[in-house]
């Protein structure tokens, strides 16, 4: 059974094996609307926080996708793969790059060396995304070009890691090391690339075997529901949208309250006097409902998107 939902956000705890598009398709069937999108792609192997927008909530997604994120991950040292994660084929010694070829065994890598290299990742740096990432190359996703047999070389981009904690180092088999980490990073940071580069630096190869996103901006696993739980809500005619539009904006953006006349002007797409913050920020009318996201430029506060037109 589907139910007509209010506008807002659904934070999904994405299971492994589904693409982000698969999750959106399921939400469309469950909720009964085509107006569903997501903020920030998760690979099929990855699990965790996927923020989905419903109806007018889709207008928030572009402003949420650029927020910082948190992950828990397991890096396997001693093997490199074609995709930099467990879904790819393991590369043989003759297929490794120059940085990894002829290197030592992971058995010879000690914990202190791993910790030192991971500490060096914290901060801003230039990172080359995985060739099978969702980065667009001439309008097409890099992974689609790779799957079509093309060779893709991506340019480095500036990213930042605010925190990276080494949780554990395990030795599952001879020649392999599993490194569990927890990190906060900027949008556009590829944890797979961190694994790849760590393996290259140690000259043993590296890839991800597990990735769980625990936070996108202010939304974390505490806000998330499984697809099964959302289906149960729909079956009982409960609204599956856990975070309504007003609450979503109040949680994710600074809040500016305006009077009735200002709300009327804004509802027609007009500008307001500046508030002294660049934005985007949410503007709420006297009834407590959000009207628009605003940003300030040229001496005025102007709508970025009007969420409730007059």
Instruction: Please provide residue 265's backbone torsions phi and psi, each rounded to the nearest 5 degrees.
Output: -60, -45
The conformation of residue 151, written as its DSSP 8-state character, comes to -
* Degrees to nearest 5, angle at CA 84 with 10 and 199: 125
DSSP assignment string, 188-246: T--HHHHHHHHHHHHTS-EEEEEEEEEEETTEEGGG-B-HHHHHHHHHTT----SEEHH
Interacting residues of 229 by C-beta distance below 8 A, sequence separation 6+: none
Q: At what angle do helices 111-119 and 191-202 cross, to 10 degrees?
A: 130
Rounded Cα distance, 67 and 62, in Å = 10
Q: What is the dihedral of CA 64, 194, 220, 46, to 10 degrees?
A: 100
Interacting residues of 151 by C-beta distance below 8 A, sequence separation 6+: none
Residue with token string 């499984």: 226
CB–CB of 307/290 below 8 Å? yes
Residues classed as catalytic: 43
Rounded Cα distance, 202 and 108, in Å = 10
Structure tokens at 24: 């959106």
């Amino acid at each position: 059974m589907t139910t007509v939902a209010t506008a807002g956000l659904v934070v999904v705890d994405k299971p492994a094996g589904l693409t982000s598009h698969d999750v959106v398709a399921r939400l469309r069937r469950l909720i009964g609307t085509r107006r569903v999108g997501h903020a920030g792609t998760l690979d099929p192997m990855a699990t965790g926080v996927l923020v989905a927008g419903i109806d007018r909530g889709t207008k928030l997604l572009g402003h949420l996708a650029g927020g910082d994120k948190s992950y828990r991950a397991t890096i396997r040292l001693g093997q490199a793969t074609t995709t930099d994660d467990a879904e790819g084929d393991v590369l043989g010694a003759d297929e490794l790059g120059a940085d990894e070829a002829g290197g030592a065994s992971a058995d010879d890598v000690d914990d202190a060396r791993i910790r030192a290299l991971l500490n060096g990742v914290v901060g801003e740096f230039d990172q080359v995304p995985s060739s099978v990432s969702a980065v667009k190359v001439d309008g097409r996703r890099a992974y689609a070009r790779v799957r079509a047999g093309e060779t893709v070389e991506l340019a480095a981009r500036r990213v930042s890691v605010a925190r990276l904690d080494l949780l554990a180092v395990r030795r599952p088999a001879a020649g392999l090391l599993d490194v569990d980490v927890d990190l906060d990073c900027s949008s556009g940071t590829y944890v797979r690339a961190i694994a790849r580069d760590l393996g290259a630096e140690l000259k043993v190869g590296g890839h991800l075997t597990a990735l769980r996103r625990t936070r996108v901006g202010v939304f974390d696993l505490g806000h998330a529901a499984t697809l099964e739980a959302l289906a149960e809500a729909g079956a009982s005619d409960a609204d599956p949208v856990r975070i309504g539009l007003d609450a979503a904006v109040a949680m994710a953006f600074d809040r500016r309250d305006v009077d009735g006349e200002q709300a009327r002007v804004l509802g027609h797409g007009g500008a307001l006097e500046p508030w002294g913050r660049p934005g985007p920020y949410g503007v709420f009318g006297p009834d407590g409902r959000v009207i628009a996201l605003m940003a300030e430029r040229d001496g005025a506060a102007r709508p970025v998107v009007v969420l409730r037109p007059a």
